[in-house]
Chains A and B, each alone.
Chain A
Amino acid sequence: MSARLIALGIAFATLVTVPYWMPGDYYINVASQILFYAIFALGLNVLVGYAGLVSLGHAGLFGIAAYATAYMLQTGYGHTAAIVVALIVGIASMAVYAVLSLRSTGIGFIMITLALGEILWGLAYRWISLTGGDNGISVRTRPEPFGFSLASPNTFYYTTLIIFLLSVAAMAVLVRSPFGASLMGTRDQPRRMNALGYHVWMIRFYACLVSGLLTAVSGILFVYYTQFISPQTLALTSSAEVLLMVISGGAGTLLGPIVGATLVVVVKTVVSGFIERWNFLLGAVFVAIVILMPEGLVPGSARLWRLAWRKLNAPAKTAATEGEP
């Protein structure tokens, strides 16, 4: 337990000091990207990992929150109004998603969320009066909460870090709570949960709303980071990418989506500068993960670590217990 606390302490210290040891603004921006994609992955993980519902339409929700922010700012509203409206639009869209797709689970759920994501992508592309179509919408300024400008990479990083830490803490609390236990119960034995008196549909619906909230938060951070939103963000590849973050890191674990987001963002941004065929590399990494650790990087590493630990300690232990029958 104390080892875990030390590890968390080191991770926290590393995150807080990023602007001091990162070589340049570019890398600080990469760190910001990792953090808001991690929030996105945490949001999707609520459904994929804890509710057992795989969504392939989350880029649509991510994008709609980003578009709502950009549109509000374009029409002349302030940042507060834009963010509040974007959160409401994001959660409301998730509620519509949920009502339509929770009619089924498994493949049915995947296909309905996929279709809804494609509809939103199509709207972003074609509803030109609202979205600007292919040209997208630019966001001119970042907010200045309490006179603290987010324009520089450092201040944006710290804001993202605070929101990221709050999201992780909220997830940690949720997973340990009775509602978390109920949610995981509906993942493993929905029929039994119903017979035990749980409202399976409603539990899944609430989980969708939590997922929608985190997705909207990450979408808003995204649009303020890039200061631009275009239909490309809502494409199916984006939905697949965040799903890969969750699965490669380890669905149904707290740290998995964060590790997955780090992996994908680092390969996409940093490694792509050195290796032209970075897509190929990312694919190879995923194949390796699926073969070596099908449960994901975090639980997989934990398993290998335990195995190695046992092997190292095995001779010592047999010697120690030899005296006992």
Chain B
Amino acid sequence: MSVLTVTGLCKSFGGLHVTTDVDLNVEPGERRLIIGPNGAGKTTLFNLITGEINPDKGSIHLFGQDVTKVPSRRRPHLGMARTYQIITLFPRDSIVHNVSLALLGLSPLRWNPIIDMKRQGHIVEHARAALERVGLAHIAERPLAQTSYGERRRVEIAMALAQNPKLLLLDEPFAGLSIDERRDVQQCLMAIPRDVTMVMIEHNMDVALEFAERITLLHFGEVIFEGNRAEVVADPRTREVYLGH
């Protein structure tokens, strides 16, 4: 059974077709890379998969279940987590509180107006464990406002991992990072076990190609090529569309 199946997906904003008849099939344990020039519709595709925007046509199946009509807030409960290209965190809170919110999102405790959040030991423990995986446990109590950009990228990943997803969508996890920070993030991602399927959008070809087994090339909202690493790099269409020569 596929983890993610997208069939005939279409979306347009007015006259602009941002997603045109996209088919995508991701198998369990796969590391999939989605590439394409700016405006190719990569992030839109993610937003369609997570349900933040509704498709005009087509269907999305998660773990064999049709989720096309399932509200986006229900989809994390099915085992899907995402990170954002533009960092979307809670700047007034500490790192560990950020990750705790990710955990709380999947717990019925989130409706509880009586108990003390700080005394929920198991949540804090799980949050720390997730931070351990991205190497931030030592600064868990630090306010997010006092962290670097690279650390925030890793908090994004920790929040996604904390939800223990079966499918992880990463939207440009290396964007804007220095070489050192990139290496840190790469180590975090490489350490994620195979029972988590990952789909990544990335521009940085060095790290991305090392990560991915199968690559999908999007251009003007269409899938124009899909294949393994060597095939995509060798294909003339990739060079034409993406590398620009």
User: Interface residues, chain A, CB within 8 Å of chain B?
Assistant: 173-174, 176-182, 184-185, 188-189, 191-200, 206
Contacts and interface: CB of A to CB of B under 8 A. Distances in A.
A178 B117 contact: yes
Contacts of A189: 88-90
Given A173-B114, A178-B120, A185-B101, 9 more contacts: A173-B113, A177-B115, A178-B104, A188-B91, A189-B90, A193-B101, A194-B52, A194-B73, A197-B73
B72 A196 contact: no
Contacts, number: 85
20 contacts: A174-B113, A176-B117, A177-B113, A178-B107, A178-B112, A178-B115, A178-B117, A179-B113, A181-B104, A185-B90, A188-B92, A189-B90, A191-B88, A193-B101, A195-B72, A196-B163, A198-B73, A198-B105, A199-B73, A206-B111
A191 B52 contact: yes
A207 to B, nearest CB: 10
Nearest to B82: A195
Contact of A179 (B101, B111, B120): B111
Interface residues of B, number: 36
B73 A181 contact: no
Closest 5 CB pairs of A and B: A196-B105, A197-B76, A197-B105, A179-B113, A192-B88
Nearest to B102: A196
B110 A176 contact: no
B19 interface: no
A196 B190 CA distance: 23
Nearest to B118: A176
A184 B74 CA distance: 20
A199 B138 CA distance: 32
Contacts of A173: 113-114, 116
Contacts of B220: none
A180 B113 CA distance: 7
Nearest to A198: B105
Residue in B72, B75, B82, B114 whose Cβ sees the most chain A Cβ within 10 Å: B114
Contacts of B100: 181
A195 B52 contact: yes
A203 to B, nearest CB: 8
A188 B115 contact: no
Interface in B81-95: 82, 84, 88-92
Nearest to A210: B113
Contacts of B112: 177-179
A271 to B, nearest CB: 35
Interface in B178-228: none
Interface string B146-185: 0000000000000100010000000000000000000000
Contacts of A199: 73
B68 interface: no
B32 interface: no
A11 B100 CA distance: 34
A298 to B, nearest CB: 16
B51 to A, nearest CB: 9
